[in-house]
Amino acid sequence: MGASKSDSFSVEHNEMASLFKALSHPARIAIVDYLLTVDTCICGDIVNELPLAQPTISQHLKELKNANIIKGTIEGTAICYCINPDTIDKIENHFGVIRHKLKNKCC
Amino acid sequence: MGASKSDSFSVEHNEMASLFKALSHPARIAIVDYLLTVDTCICGDIVNELPLAQPTISQHLKELKNANIIKGTIEGTAICYCINPDTIDKIENHFGVIRHKLKNKCC
DNA sequence: TTTATATATCGTAATATTGCAATATATAAA
DNA sequence: TTTATATATTGCAATATTACGATATATAAA
């Protein structure tokens, strides 16, 4: 085997797992962090910020985009990336539910 | 290649990535969800709840334990698993910081 | 049109993850 | 001690991820 049995789980569980998978690599955490640090959304220099080759960064950006964690809009030759607040909401909400359920627990 | 270049990233970025990696599989999301659903922490029946073989579940539980997302204490022959609220705090705090930074952004 | 710059895609090697059968371990009950 | 029950570990095959060189694409400037 090796493929995860995603068909066996609920849509919601799969959705949350996909979101977390997109955030499960330090380079992608660093990208999100960097996008939040710079003042504007015009971010053509992610490649210079991280110790990875350009194709590798492009691949990580694609995964973040596919997971709807970031959005990219074309600005001339560069691409402007920024965080998608809706997805952050979704994740925060997930932990809000966990927090709420934890309140009624023995530990 | 294939191994992620974790040495090249900050300890904090690696830590957050590890937490998300532990949550990046639908079975592990389902386990956390189930632990929050049952009334008590005595949870010997996770195997019956999920469509996976016992060794597979054991492996997923181990990953959640290694990431400090769940704790397990021995209760006779069974093991009592429950969520570690401290780790939930850590993740919520991470998104709190993101949320705060997003407030000062253009998009 | 040519050149420069920014990003994406392809192909591929190295490594990691997933899932499970078989087996081991450990405690409780008989 | 023997048997039953619960969980962990081992070993391995199938698949996924990571990283990057080479190359493609696309827009801007010269």
Measured in angstroms, the CA of A77 and the nearest CA of chain B are apart by: 20
CA distance A65 to B73: 40
A3 domain-assigned? no
A93 domain-assigned? yes
Q: Do A24 and B28 touch (CB under 8 A)?
A: no
B73 domain-assigned? yes
A4 domain-assigned? no
- CATH (domain of B30): 1.10.10.10
Domains: count for chain A: 1
- Please report, to the nearest 10 degrees, the dihedral formed by the alpha carbons of residues B104, B97, A95, A2 taken in order: 110
CA distance B6 to B10: 8
CB of A59 under 7 A from strand C?
yes
B33 domain-assigned? yes
* Distance set, CA B19 to CA A41, A46, A51, A105, B15 (Å): 27, 24, 22, 22, 6
A48 domain-assigned? yes
Query: What is the pLDDT, as a whole number, of residue A106?
Result: 55
Q: Which of B10, B29, B88 is facing A95, going by the closest CB pair?
A: B88
Give the 3-state secondary structure of A69-102. CEEEEEECCEEEEEECHHHHHHHHHHHHHHHHHH
More confident residue, B68 or B102: B68
Nucleotide nearest to A8 (CA to C1'): C19
User: Dihedrals φ, ψ of B83, to 5°?
Assistant: -70, 145
User: Dihedrals φ, ψ of B74, to 5°?
Assistant: -75, 135
Nucleotide nearest to B60 (CA to C1'): C18
> Is the Cβ of B59 closer than 8 Å to some Cβ of chain A?
no
* Strand D nucleotides within a 7 Å radius of protein CB atoms: 4-11, 13-22, 26-28
Residues 63-82 of B with CB under 8 A from A: 71, 82
Measured in angstroms, the CA of A41 and the nearest CA of chain B are apart by: 7
> What is the per-residue pLDDT across A2-61, written as a single tens digit (0 to 9) for each?
788 888 999 999 999 999 999 999 999 999 999 988 755 555 688 889 999 999 999 999
Closest chain A residue to B13 measured between Cα atoms?
A: A26
CB atoms closer than 10 angstroms to residue A49: 15
Residue partners of A8: CB distance under 8 A and separation at least 6: B26, B50, B51, B52
A5 domain-assigned? no
Q: Nearest Cα to B64, choosing from B93, B35, B92?
A: B35
> What is the per-residue pLDDT across A75-101, written as a single tens digit (0 to 9) for each?
888 888 989 999 999 999 999 999 998
Q: Which of A17, A23, A82 is facing B26, going by the closest CB pair?
A: A17
B40 domain-assigned? yes
Range of the domain at A46: 11-103
Beta strands at A78-83 and B70-75: parallel, antiparallel or unpaired:
unpaired
> What is the per-residue pLDDT across B19-58, written as a single tens digit (0 to 9) for each?
999 999 999 999 999 998 875 555 568 888 999 999 999 9
